[in-house]
Protein backbone atom coordinates (compact mmCIF):
# COMPACT_ATOMS: atom_id res chain seq x y z
CA UNK A 1 0.00 0.00 0.00
CA UNK A 2 1.26 3.47 -0.90
CA UNK A 3 2.26 5.90 1.85
CA UNK A 4 0.18 9.11 2.01
CA UNK A 5 2.15 12.34 2.45
CA UNK A 6 0.62 15.32 4.28
CA UNK A 7 0.97 18.15 1.78
CA UNK A 8 -2.01 20.50 1.99
CA UNK A 9 -4.17 22.57 4.32
CA UNK A 10 -7.29 23.82 2.57
CA UNK A 11 -9.47 26.45 4.23
CA UNK A 12 -13.04 26.80 2.94
CA UNK A 13 -13.94 30.46 3.48
CA UNK A 14 -17.11 32.55 3.55
CA UNK A 15 -15.60 35.82 2.33
CA UNK A 16 -12.57 35.34 0.09
CA UNK A 17 -11.64 39.06 -0.06
CA UNK A 18 -11.63 39.41 3.75
CA UNK A 19 -9.73 36.13 4.16
CA UNK A 20 -7.04 37.12 1.66
CA UNK A 21 -6.71 40.56 3.28
CA UNK A 22 -6.32 38.93 6.72
CA UNK A 23 -3.56 36.56 5.61
CA UNK A 24 -1.80 39.32 3.68
CA UNK A 25 -1.80 41.41 6.87
CA UNK A 26 -0.08 38.48 8.56
CA UNK A 27 2.62 38.74 5.92
CA UNK A 28 1.58 35.76 3.77
CA UNK A 29 2.54 36.30 0.14
CA UNK A 30 -0.44 35.46 -2.05
CA UNK A 31 0.51 35.49 -5.73
CA UNK A 32 -2.04 36.36 -8.40
CA UNK A 33 -0.95 33.29 -10.42
CA UNK A 34 -2.59 30.86 -7.99
CA UNK A 35 -6.01 32.54 -8.13
CA UNK A 36 -9.04 31.02 -9.90
CA UNK A 37 -11.68 33.62 -10.70
CA UNK A 38 -15.07 33.35 -12.39
CA UNK A 39 -17.59 36.12 -13.10
CA UNK A 40 -19.14 35.33 -9.69
CA UNK A 41 -15.87 35.95 -7.83
CA UNK A 42 -12.69 34.30 -6.59
CA UNK A 43 -13.21 30.62 -5.77
CA UNK A 44 -9.71 29.18 -5.26
CA UNK A 45 -6.36 30.59 -4.18
CA UNK A 46 -3.30 28.38 -3.78
CA UNK A 47 -0.10 29.51 -2.10
CA UNK A 48 3.09 27.65 -1.40
CA UNK A 49 4.02 26.77 2.10
CA UNK A 50 6.88 25.80 4.33
CA UNK A 51 8.25 22.30 4.07
CA UNK A 52 6.32 21.44 0.92
CA UNK A 53 2.90 21.90 2.54
CA UNK A 54 0.57 23.91 0.31
CA UNK A 55 -2.07 26.23 1.74
CA UNK A 56 -5.23 26.87 -0.27
CA UNK A 57 -8.44 28.83 0.15
CA UNK A 58 -11.71 27.72 -1.48
CA UNK A 59 -15.15 29.26 -1.62
CA UNK A 60 -18.14 27.37 -0.23
CA UNK A 61 -19.51 27.18 -3.79
CA UNK A 62 -16.39 25.37 -5.01
CA UNK A 63 -16.23 23.06 -1.97
CA UNK A 64 -19.80 21.92 -2.71
CA UNK A 65 -18.71 21.00 -6.26
CA UNK A 66 -15.65 18.89 -5.44
CA UNK A 67 -17.03 17.30 -2.27
CA UNK A 68 -20.53 15.82 -2.46
CA UNK A 69 -20.42 15.34 1.32
CA UNK A 70 -19.64 19.01 2.03
CA UNK A 71 -21.56 20.64 4.86
CA UNK A 72 -20.40 24.02 6.14
CA UNK A 73 -21.33 23.01 9.69
CA UNK A 74 -18.76 20.18 9.72
CA UNK A 75 -15.83 22.52 9.62
CA UNK A 76 -14.07 24.49 7.01
CA UNK A 77 -10.57 23.03 7.10
CA UNK A 78 -9.60 20.18 4.82
CA UNK A 79 -6.30 18.36 5.43
CA UNK A 80 -4.78 17.10 2.21
CA UNK A 81 -2.65 14.01 1.69
CA UNK A 82 -0.83 13.35 -1.55
CA UNK A 83 -0.57 9.83 -2.93
CA UNK A 84 1.77 8.60 -5.67
CA UNK A 85 -0.91 7.35 -8.10
CA UNK A 86 -4.58 7.35 -9.02
CA UNK A 87 -4.82 3.71 -7.96
CA UNK A 88 -3.34 4.52 -4.56
CA UNK A 89 -6.17 7.02 -3.93
CA UNK A 90 -8.78 4.33 -4.60
CA UNK A 91 -6.96 1.72 -2.49
CA UNK A 92 -6.48 3.98 0.54
CA UNK A 93 -10.06 5.29 0.33
CA UNK A 94 -11.39 1.70 0.28
CA UNK A 95 -9.19 0.74 3.23
CA UNK A 96 -10.33 3.72 5.32
CA UNK A 97 -14.02 3.17 4.55
CA UNK A 98 -13.62 -0.55 5.35
CA UNK A 99 -12.33 0.54 8.77
CA UNK A 100 -15.54 2.52 9.32
CA UNK A 101 -14.36 6.02 8.46
CA UNK A 102 -17.12 8.10 6.87
CA UNK A 103 -16.82 8.63 3.11
CA UNK A 104 -17.63 12.23 2.14
CA UNK A 105 -16.53 12.08 -1.51
CA UNK A 106 -15.82 8.76 -3.22
CA UNK A 107 -12.81 8.76 -5.56
CA UNK A 108 -13.35 10.48 -8.89
CA UNK A 109 -11.38 12.20 -11.62
CA UNK A 110 -11.40 15.86 -10.57
CA UNK A 111 -11.47 18.65 -13.12
CA UNK A 112 -7.92 19.72 -12.20
CA UNK A 113 -6.61 16.34 -13.39
CA UNK A 114 -6.09 14.46 -10.11
CA UNK A 115 -7.87 11.42 -8.70
CA UNK A 116 -9.52 12.77 -5.56
CA UNK A 117 -11.51 11.50 -2.57
CA UNK A 118 -12.48 12.76 0.90
CA UNK A 119 -13.03 10.84 4.14
CA UNK A 120 -13.63 11.98 7.71
CA UNK A 121 -11.14 11.40 10.48
CA UNK A 122 -12.50 10.12 13.83
CA UNK A 123 -13.22 13.71 14.96
CA UNK A 124 -15.17 14.64 11.83
CA UNK A 125 -12.41 16.57 10.05
CA UNK A 126 -12.46 16.14 6.28
CA UNK A 127 -9.27 14.58 4.87
CA UNK A 128 -8.56 14.79 1.13
CA UNK A 129 -6.68 12.06 -0.73
CA UNK A 130 -5.16 13.22 -4.01
CA UNK A 131 -3.01 11.77 -6.77
CA UNK A 132 -0.67 13.88 -8.87
CA UNK A 133 -2.50 15.84 -11.56
CA UNK A 134 -2.47 14.40 -15.07
CA UNK A 135 -3.41 16.56 -18.07
CA UNK A 136 -5.04 13.51 -19.70
CA UNK A 137 -7.67 13.59 -16.93
CA UNK A 138 -8.12 17.37 -16.75
CA UNK A 139 -11.58 18.73 -17.52
CA UNK A 140 -13.59 21.92 -17.52
CA UNK A 141 -14.03 23.57 -14.12
CA UNK A 142 -17.58 23.30 -12.79
CA UNK A 143 -20.07 26.10 -13.28
CA UNK A 144 -20.43 27.92 -9.99
State the pTM of this model.
Answer: 0.72
Q: What are the φ and ψ backbone dihedral angles of 135, each rounded to 5 degrees?
A: -55, -30
pLDDT band at residue 41 under the 50/70/90 scheme: confident
More confident residue, 59 or 34: 59
**Residue 21 has what DSSP assignment?**
H
3-state secondary structure of 52: helix
User: Is 18 a residue whose pLDDT tops 90?
Assistant: no
Say if CB 40 and CB 46 are below 8 A apart.
Answer: no
User: Is 74 a residue whose pLDDT tops 70?
Assistant: no
Question: What is the third-level CATH fold of 5-137?
Answer: 2,3-Dihydroxybiphenyl 1,2-Dioxygenase; domain 1 (3.10.180)
Average pLDDT rounded to a whole number, residues 27-55? 84
More confident residue, 143 or 72: 143
Four-CA torsion 106, 110, 113, 118, nearest 10 degrees: -40
Query: CA end-to-end span of the chain, whole Å?
Result: 36
- Please give the pLDDT value at position 13: 85
What is the average pLDDT value for the chain, to the nearest integer? 88
pLDDT digits 0-9 by tens, 84-131: 999 999 999 999 999 988 999 999 999 999 999 999 887 687 889 999
- Please give the pLDDT value at position 31: 80
Say if CB 93 and CB 129 are below 8 A apart.
Answer: yes
Amino acid sequence: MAQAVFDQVNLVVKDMARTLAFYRRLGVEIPESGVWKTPSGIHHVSIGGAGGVDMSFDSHALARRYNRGYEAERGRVLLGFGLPSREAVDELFDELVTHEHQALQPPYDAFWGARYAIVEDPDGNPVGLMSPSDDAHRGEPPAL
